[in-house]
A and B are shown apart, each in its own frame.
Chain A
């Protein structure tokens, strides 16, 4: 059974660093891209970026480039999303999801993590 299990909720202060995780199981971790999606309180879904754990090829949304770092450790089948200096505006739910590539114009996220709530407040 494919599962994406994320780390637990975090409460941080502005300026602090943070790294959250997403562990994939039940499939070949290095064969699928993993994406990260932000959902701010009461708002819609925003794509942040994706990583291919097989070779760590990473793509970022222009909106998040330079704001976060996406990485993966294939030895533990885990992807990460990290911030070096959090802001109050980073308060949101963050989801990871496995991306399936059907063709060069057809891809989708099939399995999603349960979400990690990040709260940044002084």
Chain B
């Protein structure tokens, strides 16, 4: 069982907006910034959002992140077929003194 809790699956149709939640605690999300990674099938994870809401160069502005208290969320607007992937949230945890990941959310574009 992961320290950060994500829904195992999410889905949407092309053009829709979907959100993926990530729930943690005061020792991780409540104290440290949240990062989101996208893993396309058969590939390495890729940084999607860092420091709660910052996009690396090259990531479309359709992707956005937010954090409130001990939870975070990833929003994808204008859903496209190429967004079909696994999405992971991550944050440092002071109690474990290590990085913790969410269990991952498989996004399906219907």
Is B100 touching A108 in the complex (CB atoms < 8 A)?
A: no
Q: How many residues of A contact B (CB 8 A)?
A: 26
Nearest-neighbour CB distance to chain B for A52, whole angstroms, equals 15
Is A47 touching B35 in the complex (CB atoms < 8 A)?
A: no
| Complex interface: chain A residues within 8 A of B12 (CB) | none
| Complex interface: chain A residues within 8 A of B97 (CB) | 59
Q: Does B17 contact A (CB under 8 A)?
A: no
Q: How many residues of B contact A (CB 8 A)?
A: 27
Is A109 touching B98 in the complex (CB atoms < 8 A)?
A: no
Known: A46-B101, A59-B98, A108-B51. A114 touches B35 (CB 8 A): no
Q: List 29 A-B contacts (CB under 8 A).
A: A35-B99, A44-B2, A44-B88, A44-B101, A44-B103, A44-B104, A45-B37, A45-B39, A45-B88, A45-B101, A45-B104, A59-B97, A61-B96, A95-B44, A95-B45, A97-B45, A100-B50, A102-B50, A105-B32, A105-B33, A107-B33, A108-B35, A108-B47, A108-B50, A108-B51, A109-B45, A110-B47, A110-B50, A113-B44
- B contact set with A: CB distance below 8 Å: 2, 31-33, 35, 37, 39, 44-47, 50-51, 56, 86, 88, 90, 92, 96-104
